[in-house]
A and B are shown apart, each in its own frame.
Chain A
């Protein structure tokens, strides 16, 4: 199945995330990742949804049936900036400390917490780079890990702002 990245602008109402997720569940679509957050426009939230589907058009049409969904763009084929953040807590013994610090530098990651036997590293990058970082760091002993999921923005002038949509509707 093909993996698609959708940028979805929604009205910032309670329950809107629930509606979107519930639609995916009941139609049997597989969400690989979903991130929501505020945008430049008050009242508008933005989701980046990564979904596996052979019929993404149907997914998009079903999402559009939700009253609070403003705009959906499939940016899978567009030039984009894709970012994800990961926090990794490593079990660290003295002998590996220097090696880990060196790797962190290679990946332009940050060590954000150091304790006697542990270290927390923060790393941001494209999904592939994050995968790669995790693979490299794994042999040292990952105690805990949390990835944020992907956020995506199209490069260049073309974009996805909710401001215009809100203005039009207010007229």
Chain B
């Protein structure tokens, strides 16, 4: 242990010691010493060379969101790190544990506008949980430990470590033993007993209760506990976009997704509920619609690990600061009077029956399938076929991009397991799906990983497809919902701007040929009767396959809440 190491070697060893085994990145001048060193550690520290740092960042996000572990991306100083800014912002908005390692120019020229110098800690200050500029080799080991600790605890988030080239090149005897010293960082994980008791007694007094679960349930691995809780009290469960999969959608208590493109019955249930407990969701405006009109009759309990989320968008009656799993476990320890519970069950059952009637009345899911005319291929046909096949062919994970296809996937596919639905929610970053799916595929070689993208977003980051070939990754498929438009924007133009399709019609290359050029199998699907066979073929091929679904061009995502309207006012056609 007393042997001298370079800063770069220390960086590698510190990463390994803190649980990192995979990194996505691109080298360059300032970060070269790290690349030189990582070669020695390559059996424990896999590096995947990406084609754009944005791809590396999203891949790290996919890796992190599907495993719960830290996702690591690397960029060199200047443009290498500014290219990481989008995925860092994305990870920030979606509370994804990420470590961005950046090369920086040597400390001697820092601040002198040296070649490829960018103040990346300055740039990323508002979009990281914390960041560091490391100029001294003796700080490297500790900073890596602290950075990963911060990124993976409390409310998860991205942390950036910028290291000067001279610190990577210097030599010193490493000290990995320094204990974490963070007097200002002590996340509250156990919720207040008093608040928990109060929340339960408030709930038991209600007649129309709703449980809403979000990203926090996923991040803290609270699905099982939440399920036990919901079942014990027989409360209907609503899952937000990032909560999809945290509660099985075929469960008798599941109501599905709320919000802008959520289900009518889910939104109506929220508007009529007299009690709403939100565990690990942040009352995003896409969920609440116009905030002042959200859940007007409900007394609200909000469980969140981040106190600053509580009361930010929606006023709540009982705040509980804590980790979703630990708080849910504490709620399960409570044993309220049986008589109260029995009465509550009775009311909750009536309420659920009522919500189910609403659901039947506004039955949505794949109702288009009963349409008489099936000559055109609707996106819905693709999702219906995917649903059928995904469910019969082993474990799958789906990564979606941003736009109409993202909402259709959320609505129309079935979500049963945590961390199987991964998307860019808070930032809505087009270009997310392909590289993020790559990160998921690397982390879960045993699962089939589908990237579902629009023709627009796909073209933002599809260069990463070649990485799949170089790394010999077999378990990734891509489905492009190719509608010839920046579809989600076109939908708004159709509905609210008199169909002025300004800047939204989209010409694309032949995606099948593009796939083939990358060494993928490419399939083009132009009609409904080709869908099943294409998906079957995609599964039959042991390797990456892209399917270009050329769907009907002008189809809208419904139901929909127009911006700044109450979620009680949905447009359904």
Contact = CB atoms under 8 A, between A and B. Distances in A.
Interface of A: 10-11, 14-15, 18-19, 22-23, 26, 57-58, 61-62, 64-70, 165-166, 168-170
Contacts of B565: none
Nearest to B310: A61
A15 B184 contact: no
Interface stretch (B121-129, B237-245, B464-472, B475-483): B121-129
Nearest to B306: A65
B444 interface: no
- Name the residue in A11, A26, A61, A62 with the highest tally of chain B Cβ atoms < 10 Å from its Cβ: A61
A10 B306 contact: no
Contact of B125 (A18, A65, A170): A18
17 contacts: A11-B184, A15-B121, A18-B125, A19-B125, A22-B126, A23-B126, A26-B126, A61-B307, A64-B308, A67-B150, A67-B184, A68-B184, A69-B184, A165-B183, A168-B183, A169-B181, A170-B183
A157 to B, nearest CB: 23
Nearest to B157: A65
A22 B125 contact: yes
A11 B311 contact: no
A45 to B, nearest CB: 12
Contacts of B307: 61, 64
Contacts of B184: 10-11, 66-70, 165
A170 B178 CA distance: 11
Q: Which 7 A/B pairs are nearest by Cβ-Cβ distance?
A: A169-B183, A61-B308, A70-B184, A67-B130, A67-B185, A69-B184, A165-B183
B308 A62 contact: yes
A67 to B, nearest CB: 5
B182 interface: yes
A67 B306 contact: no
A23 B308 CA distance: 13
Contacts of B388: none
Majority-rule SS of A interface residues: helix
Contacts of A19: 125
A9 to B, nearest CB: 8
Nearest to A70: B184
Nearest to A167: B183
- Name the residue in B129, B307, B308, B310 with the highest tally of chain A Cβ atoms < 10 Å from its Cβ: B308
Contact of A170 (B181, B308, B311, B312): B181
Contacts of B183: 11, 70, 165-166, 168-170
Given A22-B126, A26-B126, 6 more contacts: A10-B184, A18-B125, A58-B311, A64-B308, A67-B182, A165-B183
A61 B130 CA distance: 16
A88 B536 CA distance: 83
Contacts of A22: 125-126
A53 to B, nearest CB: 14
A109 B133 CA distance: 44
Interface in B377-435: none
B311 A57 contact: yes
Contact of A58 (B130, B181, B182, B308): B308
Contacts of A68: 184
- Name the residue in A23, A62, A67 with the highest tally of chain B Cβ atoms < 10 Å from its Cβ: A67
B164 to A, nearest CB: 14
B448 to A, nearest CB: 38
B537 to A, nearest CB: 49
A64 B308 CA distance: 8
A14 B131 CA distance: 11
Contacts of A26: 126
Interface in B169-195: 181-186
A19 B182 CA distance: 16
A49 B308 CA distance: 19
